[in-house]
Amino acid sequence: MNKQHNEQIPAGKNALSRKDPGEAPHRAWRILIVDSDPRVHDDTLEALRGTLIANRPLTVLHAYSTAQAYDILDQEKEIAAVLLSTTIEAGDASLHLIKAIREELGLQDLRIILHAKHACNIPQIDAINRYDISACKTAAELTPIELHAALSAAIHAYRHIHAINLGRDGLNMIVQASADFMTVHGLSRCAAGVTTQLAALMGISPEGLVCAQEDIAEHGNLIVIAAAGRYANQISQPLTTIDHAGIRDLLQRSLRERRNLYAEHGTTLFFQGNGYRDVAAYLESGAHLDHFARNLLHTFCTNIAAGFQNAALFSKLQTIAYNDPLSRLPNRFHFVNQINLKLRSPERNKYSLALLDIDHFAETNDALGHNLGDRLLQAIAQRLKSSLYDDVIIARTAGDTFGLLGPSVHLTPSNLTGQFQEPFAIDDEEVLVSVTIGLLNLSDTGNNGSDALKEANIALKRAKQHRRGEVSYYTREMGVEIQERVKLLQALRHAFDNDKLFLVYQPQINLSTGNVVGVEALIRWRTDDGKMVPPGRFIPLAEHSGLIVSIGEWVLRVACLQQARLARQGFGHIRIAINVSVSQFRHPRFPFVLRRALENSGADPRCIELEITESMAMEDADTILHTFAKIKKTGITLAIDDFGTGFSSLSYLQRLAVDRLKIDRSFINELTTSERGAQIPEVVIQLGQRLGLQIVAEGVEEASQAERLRELGCHEAQGYYFGRPMEVPVLMEWLNTHQVQPV
Ligand code: C2E
Ligand code: CA
Ligand code: CA
């Protein structure tokens, strides 16, 4: 900074006005004289001595060259007007300065008054328009009165333009903040911005404005709803956080006594709430506020007060929308938002997402009762909250699933399972639970929180598939696999719609006579390029998607038609076994679908057997029992497939009135290979004899196996040793060369 620049006019000496003691210096209008002639500076000062414009004095800055003027304008703030000599330097120097003021420095509010020695030094009209020059006067014209008039007009213009621009900035801030205006945070930001603008507009220091009202949440307490400068951080905080006792007292009293109060350090204005809570605004020097400023402040305060009331309601709504009332943890929505935030942070790769699913919660819930089940969930939430690190976010994402989001170093499998080592005390009961965990590193996912949660769920399902109590990390391969499954499912739908599925039939043999007693219908899918997709791959997909209901209906229809056709061709005693999935069985229309398939085909119900797997039979016992009781009347028989792999209750099997047990292939494999291999088939066969059930052995591949089974008393067998699953023409040939035993 140069010498002249510092030469600001001190009060009483060069100052041109009477100054109120204690008045902030920037309350004076600042003008800059740009002239190389020191006499012009002196004369101007003299002419303006004592001048007040809009009740405010003037402060004059001096520049003796255009370069110096440029520096001052670049560094000083809020200069209202420049008095510039057109002949300060040779050529167009003054015009260059004006151009720089408007274009480089971007000072649009600043008013420019030109004065020229002679009329011929006055610039062209278009320059005057282009650069928004307020006045051009020759030396002869510029009498002290003229100067005063020109300056007064320029400063009034400056004031209005400046106010408009400030208002526009304030408006911008409000618009920017309005996206989250319904939150206290957004409101605070907005209030801080507007208060700053307001302070500037009213010509008070931004430090000197604090607005307070009664806290909506805590009756009797006051909160700061708007403040500027030093106190801006206190917005939405209790009034007690303002460190100035004088300000606190004045605001409290004003609200209590419902009136304006004046003190030496400032003024407090009371605004009645009009349906909202009352507001009090503290101003460092309120005495100078004119009517306009008071109105402005009133409007602002009541709006902000209303905003705070709305924000309080909104935050209540948010609490409801984003929190789980049972566990008092964030819910799924909130959790997804948090994941989204984390995914956008630069340190996302250091974070993990875990889903903890309580094993067998449904059973525990049934055993404990729902009330205690809820308490168990609360206890788990509480333990996770208190024993995990603070930077781990915990949410309840589904009935018995908790979601955790935090640094990967904290969300290790051992850390997580470690939380469940000790039992939970529910009333006097000690409940020990285990969890299955799906984990996902945020580095392994895209940018979408809800996708990330889905992927963690994939990992969780994978862990459950293996064994409960397991932990599984999500890998991109899992995602690829899911995509492939989706593609396969689409292809399956297409194949089904275009009749690309067909049935094959595998013979079942009576072991004591060697005769054929039945066939099992097995589905086949040959793709357009001739490849076979094994049912072990597409049936689970069809089950998962619900497509199995339609496919199963088709299988029933075709198999029944085939039974009727076999009967017509002289094989009327051959039983056809049809595999039925649990979702098919559960479907309320199933008995109807079955009856219709029987009626439409003319099949003999006594020669139709349904196979359901053991695990499935146990899964939904009541429904199966109910449905089967209905269809049993038709004469249809029931076989339990894959017997020995599940956990059947024998009494339940009896109630189901099962006709046949199919010993799972895995036991047949071991039959002749190990000494103890015959144990399970032996037990099953004895069991069957005792319960009056027929036993079928599956997957018999060798004569020795068939022989051993016969010795053990097994009734029937099925497997490659006797015959592979065959398409109908091959089957017919096969049947013609094999003996068929009447039932
Ligand atoms: P499953 O009901 O246990 O069917 C027996 C499976 O063992 C069949 O496999 C059959 O081809 C195979 N198999 C038969 N004998 C032998 C043998 O000696 N050795 C060996 N290693 N395997 C033998 P497939 O046809 O691949 O069917 C697999 C599973 O797909 C079936 O198991 C059944 O659960 C399901 N499935 C097949 N067709 C249908 C259907 O129409 N509906 C439903 N819901 N499921 C079906
Ligand atoms: Ca089967
Ligand atoms: Ca089986």
**What digits encode the pLDDT tens for the residues 132-165?**
888 888 888 888 888 888 999 999 889 888 777 7
Going from the C-alpha of 505 to that of each of 366, 447, 498, 559, 707, the distances in angstroms are 43, 50, 21, 9, 23
Answer whether 0.75 is exceeded by the pTM: no
Angstrom distance (rounded) from CA 396 to CA 402 = 4
Closest ligand 1 atom to 506 CA: 14
C-alpha 207 – ligand 2 centre gap (Å): 83
C-alpha 597 – ligand 1 centre gap (Å): 22
**What digits encode the pLDDT tens for the residues 590-613?**
999 999 999 999 999 999 999 998
pLDDT tops 80 at residue 24: no
C-alpha 495 – ligand 3 centre gap (Å): 25
Residue nearest ligand 1's atom 24 by CA: 535
Angstrom distance (rounded) from CA 353 to CA 373 = 25
**What digits encode the pLDDT tens for the residues 367-398?**
778 888 999 999 999 999 998 888 999 999 99
C-alpha 725 – ligand 1 centre gap (Å): 9
Angstrom distance (rounded) from CA 435 to CA 469 = 5
Q: Kindly report the backbone phi and psi dihedral angles of residue 31, in degrees, each rounded to the nearest multiple of 5, phi listed first.
A: -125, 155
Closest ligand 1 atom to 534 CA: 26
Closest ligand 1 atom to 701 CA: 18
- Looking at residue 9, what is its pLDDT? 40
pLDDT tops 50 at residue 515: yes
pLDDT tops 70 at residue 274: no
Across the range 259-286, mean pLDDT stands at 78
Residue nearest ligand 1's atom 27 by CA: 535
The two tokens of residue 664 are 């799972």
C-alpha 520 – ligand 2 centre gap (Å): 7
- Picking from 585, 688, 599, the residue whose alpha carbon sits closest to that of residue 628 is 585
C-alpha 506 – ligand 1 centre gap (Å): 9
C-alpha 641 – ligand 2 centre gap (Å): 6
Angstrom distance (rounded) from CA 299 to CA 291 = 12
Confidence of residue 5 (pLDDT cuts 50, 70, 90): very low
**What digits encode the pLDDT tens for the residues 668-691?**
988 888 777 788 888 889 988 888
Q: What kind and span of H or E run contains 679?
A: helix 679-691
Closest ligand 1 atom to 662 CA: 3
Closest ligand 1 atom to 611 CA: 2
How are beta strands 516-526 and 575-579 bridged, if at all? Answer: parallel
pLDDT over 90, % of the chain: 48
Across the range 223-227, mean pLDDT stands at 85
Angstrom distance (rounded) from CA 256 to CA 252 = 6
The two tokens of residue 378 are 């609360």
- Looking at residue 270, what is its pLDDT? 84
Across the range 299-319, mean pLDDT stands at 71
State CA 704 to chain mean position distance.
62
Residue nearest ligand 1's atom 2 by CA: 579
CB 554 within 8 A of CB 501: yes
**What digits encode the pLDDT tens for the residues 563-592?**
999 999 999 999 999 999 988 888 889 999
- Looking at residue 26, what is its pLDDT? 44
CB 209 within 8 A of CB 281: yes
Residue nearest ligand 1's atom 33 by CA: 579
| Least confident range of 8-12, 301-305, 472-476, 604-608 | 8-12
Mutate to test the pocket of ligand 1, among 508, 522, 643 (most ligand atoms within 8 A of CB): 522
pLDDT tops 70 at residue 101: yes
- Residues that place a CB less than 5 A from ion ligand 3: 641-642, 698
- Looking at residue 702, what is its pLDDT? 94
- Picking from 111, 124, 116, the residue whose alpha carbon sits closest to that of residue 161 is 111
State CA 694 to chain mean position distance.
56
CB 209 within 8 A of CB 219: no
CB 641 within 8 A of CB 613: yes
N-term to C-term CA, the chain: 115
HSE at residue 43, side-chain half, CA atoms within 13 A, is 13
- Looking at residue 602, what is its pLDDT? 96
- Picking from 336, 349, 572, the residue whose alpha carbon sits closest to that of residue 442 is 349
Across the range 168-177, mean pLDDT stands at 57
pLDDT tops 60 at residue 178: no
Across the range 296-319, mean pLDDT stands at 71
Confidence of residue 11 (pLDDT cuts 50, 70, 90): very low
Angstrom distance (rounded) from CA 436 to CA 459 = 10
Angstrom distance (rounded) from CA 456 to CA 442 = 10
φ/ψ bin of 470: left (φ > 0), alpha (ψ from -120 to 50), beta (otherwise): beta
- Positive or negative, the CA dihedral 319, 320, 321, 326 is positive
**What digits encode the pLDDT tens for the residues 531-570?**
999 999 999 999 988 899 999 999 999 999 999 999 999 9
Across the range 287-293, mean pLDDT stands at 65
Across the range 236-247, mean pLDDT stands at 90
**What digits encode the pLDDT tens for the residues 441-467?**
999 999 999 999 999 999 999 898 876
Going from the C-alpha of 245 to that of each of 227, 242, 249, 510, 579, the distances in angstroms are 16, 8, 6, 101, 83
Angstrom distance (rounded) from CA 639 to CA 611 = 5
- Kindly provide the residue ranges of all beta strands, DSSP E only, lying in 583-636, ordered along the sequence: 608-613
Residue nearest ligand 1's atom 17 by CA: 699
| Least confident range of 333-337, 653-657, 737-741 | 737-741
3-state secondary structure of 262: strand
**What digits encode the pLDDT tens for the residues 51-85?**
888 888 999 999 999 999 999 999 987 899 999 99
Mean predicted lDDT score pLDDT of the chain: 85
The two tokens of residue 517 are 């007693």
Across the range 18-25, mean pLDDT stands at 36
- Looking at residue 677, what is its pLDDT? 78
C-alpha 612 – ligand 3 centre gap (Å): 9
Confidence of residue 197 (pLDDT cuts 50, 70, 90): low
Confidence of residue 289 (pLDDT cuts 50, 70, 90): low
- Looking at residue 275, what is its pLDDT? 62
- 555 alpha carbon, closest ligand: 1
- Looking at residue 287, what is its pLDDT? 55
State CA 526 to chain mean position distance.
42
C-alpha 522 – ligand 1 centre gap (Å): 6
Residue nearest ligand 1's atom 45 by CA: 579
Residue written as tokens 């209202």? Answer: 80
CB 407 within 8 A of CB 351: yes
C-alpha 509 – ligand 1 centre gap (Å): 16
Angstrom distance (rounded) from CA 2 to CA 552 = 94
C-alpha 466 – ligand 1 centre gap (Å): 22
Closest ligand 1 atom to 552 CA: 42
Mutate to test the pocket of ligand 1, among 579, 593, 643 (most ligand atoms within 8 A of CB): 579
- 614 alpha carbon, closest ligand: 3
C-alpha 622 – ligand 1 centre gap (Å): 26
- 540 alpha carbon, closest ligand: 1
Mutate to test the pocket of ligand 1, among 539, 547, 551 (most ligand atoms within 8 A of CB): 539
Angle 184-201/291-322 helices, nearest 10 degrees? 170
State CA 690 to chain mean position distance.
59
pLDDT tops 50 at residue 21: no
pLDDT tops 80 at residue 339: yes
Which is more confident, 192 or 331?
A: 331
How are beta strands 637-643 and 222-227 bridged, if at all? Answer: unpaired
- Looking at residue 1, what is its pLDDT? 37
Contacts made by residues 686-695, CB under 8 angstroms, sequence distance 24+: 686/713, 687/650, 687/661, 688/661, 688/715, 689/713, 691/650, 691/653, 691/654, 693/653, 693/658, 693/659, 693/660, 693/661, 694/659, 694/660, 694/661, 695/660, 695/661, 695/662, 695/663
Q: Which residues line ligand 1 (CB under 6 A)?
A: 506, 522-523, 534-536, 539, 552, 555, 579-581, 641-642, 665, 699-701, 719-720, 725
Residue written as tokens 């205690």? Answer: 372
Across the range 217-245, mean pLDDT stands at 83
Residue nearest ligand 1's atom 12 by CA: 699
- Kindly provide the residue ranges of all beta strands, DSSP E only, lying in 345-410, ordered along the sequence: 351-358, 393-398, 401-407
Across the range 185-214, mean pLDDT stands at 70
**What digits encode the pLDDT tens for the residues 103-134?**
999 898 899 999 888 777 777 777 778 888 88
Residue nearest ligand 1's atom 37 by CA: 522
| Helices vs strands, H then E, count in the chain | 26, 28
Going from the C-alpha of 404 to that of each of 67, 329, 356, the distances in angstroms are 63, 11, 8
Q: Give the contacts of 48 (CB within 8 A, at least 6 positions apart).
A: 16, 58, 60, 144, 147, 148, 151
- Picking from 16, 41, 42, the residue whose alpha carbon sits closest to that of residue 30 is 16
Q: Give the contacts of 145 (CB within 8 A, at least 6 positions apart).
A: none
**What digits encode the pLDDT tens for the residues 343-355?**
999 999 999 999 9
Across the range 705-721, mean pLDDT stands at 95
CB 607 within 8 A of CB 573: yes
- Looking at residue 36, what is its pLDDT? 93
pLDDT over 70, % of the chain: 87
